[in-house]
């Protein structure tokens, strides 16, 4: 506890030795946790880097009065890992619906990459109703196309092709905006 | 493989340091200053615009406070370099810096650049050389301690105003600040016209960075036996010295000559600026 209070002071004071110390003490835990949740070494590495960069840039956000540094880093790592898994799930569901051919994976990558902005949401909102409901189920609610078909009471083939055309339109909208800006 | 690779360690540290530089390397006497500059800088980096412009100390917002620090640091930089780039007293120089209304980002960068340059220039400086800066004649080491102290007080102001829990500096950085405050007491007492030249004070400051001081309050004071004792938390003493506590209400245990104890608490905040 006392050690964490001083470690936080050293981090705030810009002592990079304190960052190394925090990394050496907690990186196995952070990496291991991220690896268990994501099952991806690449993702676990990215999350580990993210978590320690965040600690270094936001030392005041860690409050030793509320828990140990280890616990706080574990929370950060867990939150990021769950986000990563959700994103992966969405991507997998979409791929499942549209097939793994080159152009459709490209479209999905493009949409996932643009997702931080409000741009995807705007593009989804612009879709005609029948395409929009299929895309929303698959993309935002993480349903597989089979689940979406059951919910909408439509044949699986129809839902698949609606998701596919919906994604293509979103990609067109994003591409237009990209070239316009 | 369930252990992170060594390569990841190197990559992570590199990424972190490229986004936030560590405190400037500086000789011992300037290390508290370099550390507190890093503490304020990482706080400023996190502020959004409304936080920059909400009142933090009296009428002053974070932007004014950083401009004020820039102005005061500039006086020391000038004195060390032997140049006079603009006004030579703190209020005029502050008015000049605050009046420029630089963009927020630029306000921070300009202050940080000058602070870094000050640290960088300290390599071959004699810390015992005495200099007059803003009306006070002190050795360079003490000037740096005073700059660290003021920077901390304003970091704390901004942290409070923006709901961030800013810890005090490290104990080894607080100690020289408390020591400077203790040594300054006889002069401060004389300047407020309440000197007790034949008295000896024992000052006990508790907590990380604290210690015990036996301070003869004037040349007529003889022996080490204290006539009055003031005991308080070291951070409280620093905030009192920074003008952030009222001498009447600050938590302190006093004993011995009551007039000496009372006057010491009043004198402690004499050197505080805005």
**3 state DSSP class of B138:** strand
Q: Which of A13-17, A56-60, A167-171 has the lowest mean pLDDT?
A: A167-171
Contact B266, B239 (CB under 8 A): no
Q: A13: nearest CA in chain B?
A: B35
Question: How many beta carbons lie within 10 A of that of residue A21, not counting itself?
Answer: 15
- Using the beta-carbon criterion (under 8 Å), do B12 and A9 form an inter-chain contact? no
- Using the beta-carbon criterion (under 8 Å), do A12 and B39 form an inter-chain contact? yes
Q: B167: nearest CA in chain A?
A: A9
Report long-range pairs for A120-126 (Cβ below 8 Å, ≥24 apart).
A120/A170, A120/A174, A122/A173, A123/A169, A123/A170, A123/A173, A123/A174, A124/A166, A124/A170, A126/A169, A126/A173
Contact B254, B228 (CB under 8 A): yes
Domain boundaries, chain B: 6-167, 177-267
Residue A2 has pLDDT above 70, yes or no: no
Task: Among B4, B20, B168, select the one facing A48 at the smallest CB separation.
Answer: B4
Contact residues on chain B for A12, CB-CB shorter than 8 A: 38-39, 42, 166-167
Query: In whole numbers, what is the pLDDT of chain B averaged over residues?
Result: 93
pLDDT band at A178 (very low <50, low <70, confident <90, very high): low
Q: What is the pLDDT of residues A109-163, one digit of tens each?
A: 767 666 555 777 788 888 999 888 888 888 777 788 888 888 888 888 888 888 8
Residue whose C-alpha is closest to residue B59's, from B157, B147, B167: B157
Helix (H) or strand (E) holding B61: strand B60-61
- Using the beta-carbon criterion (under 8 Å), do B8 and A58 form an inter-chain contact? no
* ipTM field: 0.94
Q: Which of the residues in chain B have pLDDT under 50? A: none
- Using the beta-carbon criterion (under 8 Å), do A14 and B12 form an inter-chain contact? no
- Using the beta-carbon criterion (under 8 Å), do A53 and B19 form an inter-chain contact? yes
Contact A139, A98 (CB under 8 A): no
Backbone angles phi, psi at A100, to 5 degrees: -95, 25
Q: What is the pLDDT of residues B9-56, one digit of tens each?
A: 999 999 999 999 999 999 999 999 999 999 999 999 999 999 999 888
Contact residues on chain B for A72, CB-CB shorter than 8 A: none
**3 state DSSP class of B216:** strand
CATH topology of domain B6-167: 1.20.120
- In this complex, is the C-beta atom of A15 within 8 Å of any C-beta atom belonging to chain B? yes
Class of domain B177-267: alpha beta
- Using the beta-carbon criterion (under 8 Å), do A60 and B43 form an inter-chain contact? yes
């Amino acid at each position: 506890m006392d050690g964490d209070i001083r470690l936080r002071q050293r981090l705030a004071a810009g002592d990079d030795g304190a960052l190394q110390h925090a990394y050496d003490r907690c990186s196995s835990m952070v990496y291991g946790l991220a690896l268990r949740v994501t099952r991806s070494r690449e993702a676990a590495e990215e999350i580990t880097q993210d978590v320690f960069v965040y600690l270094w840039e936001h030392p005041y956000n860690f409050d030793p009065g509320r828990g140990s540094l280890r616990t706080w880093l574990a929370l950060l790592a867990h939150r990021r890992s769950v986000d990563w898994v959700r994103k992966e799930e969405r991507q997998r569901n979409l791929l499942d619906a549209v097939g793994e051919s080159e152009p459709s994976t490209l479209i999905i990558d493009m949409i996932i990459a643009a997702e931080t902005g409000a741009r995807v949401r705007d593009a989804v909102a612009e879709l005609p109703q029948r395409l929009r409901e299929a895309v929303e189920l698959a993309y935002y609610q993480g349903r597989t196309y089979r689940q979406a078909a059951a919910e909408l009471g439509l044949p699986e083939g129809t839902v698949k092709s609606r998701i596919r055309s919906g994604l293509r339109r979103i990609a067109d909208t994003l591409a237009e905006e990209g070239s316009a800006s | 493989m369930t252990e992170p690779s060594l390569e990841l360690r190197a990559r992570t540290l590199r990424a972190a340091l490229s986004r936030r530089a560590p405190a400037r390397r500086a000789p011992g006497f300037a290390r508290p200053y370099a550390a507190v500059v890093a503490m304020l800088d990482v706080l400023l980096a996190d502020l959004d615009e409304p936080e920059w412009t909400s009142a933090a100390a009296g009428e002053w917002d974070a932007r004014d406070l950083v401009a004020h620090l820039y102005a005061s640091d500039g006086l020391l930089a000038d004195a060390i370099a032997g140049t006079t780039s603009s006004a030579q007293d703190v209020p005029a120089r502050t008015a000049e810096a605050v009046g420029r209304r630089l963009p927020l980002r630029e306000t921070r960068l300009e202050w940080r650049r000058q602070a870094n340059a000050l640290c960088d220039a300290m390599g071959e400086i004699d810390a015992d050389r005495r200099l007059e800066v803003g009306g006070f004649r002190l050795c360079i080491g003490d000037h740096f301690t005073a700059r660290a102290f003021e920077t901390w007080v304003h970091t704390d102001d901004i942290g409070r105003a923006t709901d961030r829990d800013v810890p005090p500096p490290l104990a080894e950085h607080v100690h020289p600040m408390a020591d400077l405050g203790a040594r300054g007491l006889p002069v401060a007492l004389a300047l407020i016209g309440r000197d007790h030249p034949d008295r000896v004070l024992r000052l006990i400051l508790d907590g990380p960075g604290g210690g015990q001081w036996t301070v003869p309050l004037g040349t007529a004071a003889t022996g080490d036996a204290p006539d009055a004792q003031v005991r308080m938390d070291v951070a409280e003493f620093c905030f009192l010295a920074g003008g952030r506590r009222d001498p009447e209400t600050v938590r302190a245990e006093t004993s011995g000559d009551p007039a000496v104890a009372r006057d010491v608490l009043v004198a402690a905040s004499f050197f505080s600026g805005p």
